[in-house]
Structure 1
Amino acid sequence: MPDDTPVKAPSRIQLRNRRRILDAALDVFAEHGYRGATLDQIAEAAGLSKPNILYYFAGKEEIHVTLLNQLMETWLDPLVEMDAGGEPLDEILAYVQRKLDMARDLPRESRLFANEILQGAPRMAPHLKADLKPLFDEKCHVIQRWIDAGKLAPIDPRHLIFAIWATTQHYADFGAQIRVLLDTDQPAPGADPFLRTLFTNLLAPTVR
């Protein structure tokens, strides 16, 4: 017979501890990558014992997968917001700005994602295929329609999106280098006008 015993909702303390563990793990994974991170490091960062960590999660991989699952929707949102009915150049520049804002506001999440991809996406591959790939194809088709209509310069939409990712996420993934080279603690200083000018010049249609 099926077990009809109601599942007890987690208490406020349990929810708080899960958030505490995940936030600490985000720091550890962002700094050390999946392979370099350990449960001992996560426990120390969370201020909890290792057995306490294992009460909430089966192990390091479950914590990592939970973080990646939470991240994916956030990661896709800036591209989802690109409006096929909007003004093409404005939509592209707004996407660049959203990605740059994300690099500023979510640097740990950016490094978590980058580390996973650099390792061959062993845990995120299903999301890339099921979620990112259809969205990427859809927005490439939108950009291509804008190009075909003469509203943007003729470029490859796929590599345009790659270039936007590279130029915006760089400020999060290589933040330590940026701070040394620019002698500042500010994230992405001066990047907004530079990237706006860069992509405006790249995408402005040629007047015939």
Structure 2
Amino acid sequence: MVEEAELKPQREGAAFRNRWLFGGTTYRRMVEPLAIAQYYRDGGKDYVNKHRSKHFKTLEEWLEEDSTKTKNELNSTSKKKVEVILTIDSCFWAHVEEAILACKELKEVKDKEEVLNKLVEFEDYVYGLLKDYAVSPEIFLRQSSYMSWWKDYKAIKGSSYTSKLANFMNDAGKIKLYGLGAYDFP
């Protein structure tokens, strides 16, 4: 689809038809996480900067360039339909995998501060997505990479660690309410 669209002449500043933008965005949000899983399963690192396919980048650029109502509709999430959303950031799982690698790296490096800062940035990123209901509740499945990261991160930080994300994650009731679209973030 990307190659076909690039061949068609477009007036400067012309928006792609809504159908193409919607289809491309949905495709990217469904398929890119599979490409990410394959990449990290095969031992890859830094997917976003080193391996992300041109067509995923192009599809994301099209969405960013489109300043119309369509973009807002595609990025809007609703607490009421959280159980059926695709995670807004198609690279979310790459960020999770990098956070898992950072947790492992902490055991090997002497200068831990830089790695810990990356993990705190990731924590803030995740909390922001949760607060916007921009991430699927499937991240909370027991065997998910996200829950694996959380288990490792919690062990690193200790049980007394508090943050917005830690307060949320340490309360199973809040997670359940999130999945139902009924949790109100402070």
| TM bucket, shorter chain | 0.3 to 0.5
Q: Tell me which protein shows more helix as a share of its residues.
A: 1
Q: Which structure has the larger Rg?
A: 1
Q: Please give the TM-score of this superposition, normalised by the length of structure 1.
A: 0.34
